[in-house]
Amino acid sequence: MSQAPERRSLKKVSMAMVAGAAMLLIGLACGGDGDNTVTGLVIEAVERDLVEIELLRVRDSDGKVWEFSTNGPVGISASHLRQHQVLGESVVVTYRKYRGNLIATDVRD
């Protein structure tokens, strides 16, 4: 009879560990900071190739200059961004922070 309470206790500890591990995985999958956005004027757009941007610099309405890199296409080309630069049209940059760098994930008119 003394083993039954021990089994229940072990079962509770196991269930608590599984629940804790699940919560940890969910927290890691959510990525912490998540996506952020900044709206501003294009200062510089350097292309990596025809569809990808290597570097994007944007000045927001407070005068702060934001510098972004990318990890693939972001929905707009460097040449189109240069049109925005010449015409003084703003863009909206969606980005994530990764190891101290700002990584643009989407850029829209």
For 17-34, the pLDDT digits (tens) are 555 544 444 444 454 568
Give the mean pLDDT of the chain.
Answer: 84
Q: Is residue 106 left, alpha or beta, with left meaning phi > 0 and alpha meaning psi from -120 to 50?
A: beta
For residue 48, the enclosing domain spans 36-108
> Are both 99 and 49 inside the same structural domain?
yes
> Are both 24 and 66 inside the same structural domain?
no
Q: Above 70 in pLDDT, residue 79?
A: yes
Question: pLDDT-derived band of residue 93, with 50, 70 and 90 as boundaries?
Answer: very high
- Looking at the 3D structure of the chain, how many domains does it have? 2
Lowest mean pLDDT among 4-13, 64-73, 81-90: 4-13
Q: What is the reported pLDDT for 26?
A: 45
